[in-house]
């Protein structure tokens, strides 16, 4: 009798965990970005395979803003990291006036 009492809660726990796992996977798929093209500031697709606009910088506003609220995502951690350290004289005293920050701008 004791074994049967243990099996039922264990089976119920496994069933609940399975449902939670499936819900988590489904939610992650729903929030993931669909495949997208990088775009230039004027909205042209950057295609490194064909070389089309490959010499142009990508625009987060045009690339990410197509699906996301650009004003909201630019307030996020990765958009803001490093802006408090950037300055024209960051490494001027070290004889490297071209270095404007510690290189962590936008990094993890």
Farthest-apart Cα atoms in the chain, separation? 80
**SS3 category, 4:** helix
Structure tokens, 26: 């489904």
Q: What is the pLDDT of residue 102?
A: 79
Radius of gyration for the chain, computed over Cα atoms and rounded to the nearest angstrom: 24
Q: What is the pLDDT of residue 37?
A: 92
Predicted model pTM: 0.49
What is the predicted pLDDT for the residue at 75?
Answer: 84
**SS3 annotation, 77-96:** HHHHCCCCCCCCCCCHHHCC
- The pLDDT of residue 41: 94
pLDDT of residue 38: 94
Paired with 39 in beta bridges are: 45
pLDDT value, residue 78: 73
Cβ contacts of 80 within 8 Å, gap of 6 or more: 74
Residue 31: per-residue pLDDT: 64
Where in the chain are the domains? 1-32, 34-75, 77-108
Whole-number pLDDT of residue 12: 77
Q: What is the pLDDT along the chain (108 residues), one digit of tens a residue?
A: 555 566 667 777 788 888 877 777 766 666 667 789 999 999 999 998 999 999 999 898 999 898 889 888 888 877 777 777 788 888 888 888 888 887 776 554
The residue to which tokens 């990094």 are assigned: 107
């Amino acid at each position: 009798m004791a074994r049967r009492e243990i099996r039922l809660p264990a089976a119920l726990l496994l069933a609940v965990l399975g449902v939670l796992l499936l819900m988590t996977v489904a939610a992650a798929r729903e929030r993931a970005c669909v495949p997208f093209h990088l775009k230039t500031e004027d909205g042209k697709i950057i295609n490194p395979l064909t070389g089309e606009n490959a010499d142009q910088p990508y625009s987060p506003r045009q690339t990410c803003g197509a699906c996301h609220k650009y004003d909201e995502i630019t307030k996020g951690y990765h958009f803001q990291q490093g802006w408090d350290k950037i300055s024209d004289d960051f490494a001027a005293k070290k004889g490297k006036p071209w270095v404007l920050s510690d290189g962590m701008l936008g990094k993890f």
